Chains A and B, each alone.
Chain A
Amino acid sequence: MKYIDEFRDGDGARHIAANIAAEVRPDVAYNFMEFCGGHTHAISRYGIADMLPANVRMIHGPGCPVCVLPIGRVDLAIRLALEQGVMLCTYGDTMRVPASDGLSLIKAKARGADIRMVYSAADALKLAEQNPEREVVFFAIGFETTTPPTALVIRDAAARAVKNFSVLCCHVLTPSAITHILESAEVRQLGTVPIDGFIGPAHVSIIIGSQPYEHFAEEYRKPVVITGFEPLDVMQGILMLVRQVNAGRAVVENEFSRVVTRDGNLAAQNLVSQVFELRESFEWRGLGEVPYSALKIRPAFAEWDAERKFDLHYASVPDHKQCECGAILRGVKRPADCKLFGTVCTPESPMGSCMVSNEGACAAHYSYGRFRDIAVVAA
């Protein structure tokens, strides 16, 4: 596969690893947050952590839209399906997120709710057109990468006057989340979460460009390297961060230059701003209320806004008392620090969203990483 295989070459990875090992200063600790769940997943899947020197530590960030989706939002979707009999369309990722009353979308389906897994927002609209007698709601989650498709679908629904279709919008924004972390007590004052730099999201940046990150570099003096998802990209991104730290620089660099530009995809950005506007505040699991961090549908498209159509009111639901998803999402705790990890909370019976999503820190650690805590036999 072109533009994929070349960036997964094992020899290349070893060379970059050798360079990282050669260039890190032995007395310095390098703590880099990989914001994106996709990077968390890549690091686990390719065993990249094994190739880094001991003083380079990767901290998992909250860039996993499933992980940061609060219980209350999933409850809204479940209730629409169970109580209002809508056809609830959702991406596969959210199906198993635990919500209130021991339910999840997949469990609600078992109770008779009409929950349909879709690969694409367009499929949800198609289902609405094929089933004119049913109300169809699309549960829209995701960061900036996934938002333009939702915008397109709302625009098309309006253009084609599809009356039985609406969107439950839970799209969130990356830069706000990064700011929130950088402003958090743990980072700013207490220093309990040292962050020396960021591995910036790859695909979000295709849409928003590299420009929005310049603010973090300048104001917070943290280098940001926008990095692709293939393992060679990740290693190269880490090397670039190490170099910046060593040189005392704090700028935005773009490792993923083959697709990301400074301006990003303007057509997509324009479309998004036509259909959506900022919410003043939005609750993120683990981060609490974050100002200007999420989107809602503009009044011009009110007919396709499920929150207006069904008069939905968001109610915050606290996580399970001992669930540490919040602290883990902020990088304050690690999965193994959570009392529930691996005992009550497993991928089969997740208590919190970090265990459900493929790239949640807990799921990644459970599947790939927990074995590193135990002495594993070399073959």
Chain B
Amino acid sequence: MTMTTPKKNYLRPIDFKHGHIDMTHGAGGRAAAQLVDELFARAFDNEYLRQGHDGALLPFPTGGRLVMATDGHVISPLFFPGGDIGCLSVHGTVNDVAMSGAKPLYLAASFILEEGFALADLKRIVESMAAAARDAGVPIVTGDTKVVEKGKGDGVFISTTGVGVAPDGLCIDGRQARAGDVILVSGTVGEHGVAVMSLRESLEFETAIQSDTAALHTLVQAMLQALNDPNALHVLRDPTRGGLATTLNEIATQSQVGITIEEAAIPVLPQVEAACELLGLDPLYVANEGKLIAICAPEVADQLLAAMRAHPLGRGAERIGTVTQDAHCFVQMNTRFGGRRVVDWLSGEQLPRIC
């Protein structure tokens, strides 16, 4: 009688086509380890991840300061024209680090998965994240997975944390805007929010608008390199939730200045304008995921604009306004009519309306 020798550590490969997340995937046992092995580690693979410790041991350049940023991603729908929650979570955190003028070095990613979530969808998201991280040159070096019961999650929530290094002496943050500074935007606004809304139930319209989600750190490096004095660049920020208007209001308040922008100068794709008209939204308040606002000393504005336009992610860069002295910290806009209005903070959520 022959006995089949049990294969050492045999595990049936995960069925990514038809399988679903279940509670064992978060239990810390074999199934969980297998998921990490066959999906996350395989997709994100890099020397640090291969260490396999609880924490990753990472080389860090001497000199310079550590920049750290973190972001939770709860977007719904998970897949939208131009991207998905995966690449969005990479771009978002890379960008947050880059907005200090820092070079992003490493990412950490933690996943909260809902019981029943389709593994095919998870694989798609993870591979998208891996591609985004590879393209950005920022490896995902550590991570975590948990599973919650069905009904307690929206498929998947992803939280990413990023670290980077900013050169000593560089001072780019929301408090640095000064009266006389020039405000630049790296391209057209409103695409991400509209692309996502186009999928929401009951708002369907066919449109070729894609989310602009992108990693902006190489654009930032190009901008810094174009300047003799990097500190002539005072503020960098990406106008995500709440859009351009909200971000400008944040900066005005933090820097205790006023801002004046020119409506005619703000670049918006005609299709985005049209979609906003149909829904009663204002493109100024619609989220962007691949654009940045730069506020700089007036003497370097032309130079900076040229550097932005020379970069693939800054081709549509435009000068949109100036910083003023204003105790009220208002953001004002010269309308196309030569009238003027204040562009206030976003109130609540922008909802499509009938009136």
Judge A-B direct contact (beta carbons within 8 Å): yes
Q: Which residues of A contact B (CB under 8 A)?
A: 1, 4, 8, 10, 13-14, 37-38, 41, 44-48, 50-51, 64-66, 91-93, 95-96, 116-120, 123, 141-142, 146, 231, 346-348, 357-359, 363, 366-368, 371, 374, 376-377, 379
**Nearest CB to that of B274 among chain A residues?**
A1
**How many angstroms from the CA of A46 to the CA of B215 in the assembled complex?**
35
Stretch at the interface among B84-92, B228-236, B292-300, B340-348: B340-348
The answer to whether B353 touches A93 (Cβ under 8 A) is yes
- A sample of 29 cross-chain residue pairs with beta-carbon separation below 8 angstroms, ordered by A number, consists of A10-B336, A10-B338, A13-B338, A46-B337, A46-B341, A48-B337, A50-B339, A51-B337, A65-B355, A66-B355, A91-B354, A92-B353, A93-B351, A96-B348, A117-B352, A119-B202, A119-B203, A123-B202, A141-B354, A142-B355, A146-B354, A347-B347, A348-B348, A358-B353, A371-B328, A371-B342, A376-B326, A377-B330, A379-B324
**How many angstroms from the CA of A45 to the CA of B326 in the assembled complex?**
22
The answer to whether A359 touches B355 (Cβ under 8 A) is yes
The answer to whether B337 touches A92 (Cβ under 8 A) is no
**How many angstroms from the CA of A48 to the CA of B342 in the assembled complex?**
13
**How many angstroms from the CA of A366 to the CA of B330 in the assembled complex?**
13
Residues of B near A51 (CB, < 8 A) are: 337-339
**How many angstroms from the CA of A65 to the CA of B353 in the assembled complex?**
12
- Shortest beta-carbon distance, A60 to chain B, in Å? 13
**How many angstroms from the CA of A374 to the CA of B201 in the assembled complex?**
43
* Of A37, A118, A346, A367, the contact of B202 (CB 8 Å cutoff): A118
* Of A13, A65, A376, the contact of B328 (CB 8 Å cutoff): A376
**How many angstroms from the CA of A141 to the CA of B328 in the assembled complex?**
38
* Of A4, A123, A363, A367, the contact of B342 (CB 8 Å cutoff): A367
- B322 touches A (CB below 8 Å): yes
The answer to whether B355 touches A50 (Cβ under 8 A) is no
Q: Which residues of B contact A (CB under 8 A)?
A: 201-203, 258, 260, 270, 273-274, 277, 279-280, 322, 324-326, 328, 330, 332, 334-342, 344, 347-348, 351-355
**How many angstroms from the CA of A378 to the CA of B341 in the assembled complex?**
12
The answer to whether B339 touches A47 (Cβ under 8 A) is yes
Residues of A near B325 (CB, < 8 A) are: 377
Residues of A near B322 (CB, < 8 A) are: 379
**Nearest CB to that of B328 among chain A residues?**
A374
The answer to whether A367 touches B260 (Cβ under 8 A) is no
Q: What is the count of residue pairs linking A and B with beta-carbon distances less than 8 angstroms? A: 110
| Contacts A1-B273, A46-B339, A371-B342 known; 9 new A-B pairs at CB < 8 A | A47-B339, A93-B351, A93-B355, A116-B202, A123-B202, A376-B326, A379-B260, A379-B322, A379-B334
Residues of A near B202 (CB, < 8 A) are: 116-120, 123
**How many angstroms from the CA of A324 to the CA of B351 in the assembled complex?**
25
- Shortest beta-carbon distance, A335 to chain B, in Å? 14
The answer to whether A379 touches B353 (Cβ under 8 A) is no
**How many angstroms from the CA of A294 to the CA of B260 in the assembled complex?**
45
Given contacts A371-B328, A376-B328, contact A95 B351 (CB under 8 A): yes
Residues of A near B334 (CB, < 8 A) are: 379
- Shortest beta-carbon distance, B336 to chain A, in Å? 5
- Shortest beta-carbon distance, A376 to chain B, in Å? 6
**How many angstroms from the CA of A123 to the CA of B355 in the assembled complex?**
18
- Shortest beta-carbon distance, A151 to chain B, in Å? 15
Residues of A near B355 (CB, < 8 A) are: 37-38, 41, 64-66, 93, 142, 357-359
The answer to whether B348 touches A371 (Cβ under 8 A) is no
The answer to whether B277 touches A231 (Cβ under 8 A) is no
* Of B332, B353, B354, the contact of A376 (CB 8 Å cutoff): B332
The answer to whether B258 touches A377 (Cβ under 8 A) is yes
- Shortest beta-carbon distance, A337 to chain B, in Å? 20
Q: Which secondary structure dominates where chain B touches chain A?
A: loop
- Shortest beta-carbon distance, A134 to chain B, in Å? 15
Residues of A near B354 (CB, < 8 A) are: 65, 91-93, 141-142, 146
**How many angstroms from the CA of A86 to the CA of B161 in the assembled complex?**
41
**How many angstroms from the CA of A231 to the CA of B325 in the assembled complex?**
30
Residues of A near B330 (CB, < 8 A) are: 371, 376-377
- Shortest beta-carbon distance, B349 to chain A, in Å? 9
**How many angstroms from the CA of A363 to the CA of B336 in the assembled complex?**
22
Q: Interface centre among B270, B277, B279, B335, by most A CB within 10 Å?
A: B335
**How many angstroms from the CA of A14 to the CA of B324 in the assembled complex?**
26
Residues of B near A116 (CB, < 8 A) are: 202
Residues of B near A4 (CB, < 8 A) are: 277
Residues of B near A376 (CB, < 8 A) are: 326, 328, 330, 332, 342
The answer to whether B351 touches A92 (Cβ under 8 A) is yes
The answer to whether B336 touches A8 (Cβ under 8 A) is yes
Residues of A near B274 (CB, < 8 A) are: 1
**How many angstroms from the CA of A119 to the CA of B198 in the assembled complex?**
12
Residues of B near A13 (CB, < 8 A) are: 337-338
In the complex, the 5 A-B pairs of residues with the closest C-beta atoms, listed nearest first: A47-B339, A347-B347, A92-B351, A379-B260, A123-B202
**How many angstroms from the CA of A260 to the CA of B335 in the assembled complex?**
28
**Nearest CB to that of A118 among chain B residues?**
B202
- Shortest beta-carbon distance, B151 to chain A, in Å? 13
**How many angstroms from the CA of A374 to the CA of B329 in the assembled complex?**
12
The answer to whether B344 touches A366 (Cβ under 8 A) is yes
**How many angstroms from the CA of A10 to the CA of B264 in the assembled complex?**
10
- Shortest beta-carbon distance, B182 to chain A, in Å? 12
- Shortest beta-carbon distance, A57 to chain B, in Å? 17
Residues of B near A120 (CB, < 8 A) are: 202
- Shortest beta-carbon distance, B337 to chain A, in Å? 5
Q: Interface centre among B202, B270, B280, by most A CB within 10 Å?
A: B202
**How many angstroms from the CA of A8 to the CA of B336 in the assembled complex?**
8
Given contacts A37-B355, A96-B348, A377-B325, contact A368 B341 (CB under 8 A): yes
Given contacts A1-B270, A358-B280, contact A50 B340 (CB under 8 A): yes
The answer to whether A379 touches B338 (Cβ under 8 A) is no
The answer to whether B339 touches A48 (Cβ under 8 A) is yes
Q: Interface centre among B279, B342, B354, by most A CB within 10 Å?
A: B354
**Nearest CB to that of A372 among chain B residues?**
B342
**How many angstroms from the CA of A200 to the CA of B347 in the assembled complex?**
29
**How many angstroms from the CA of A139 to the CA of B237 in the assembled complex?**
41
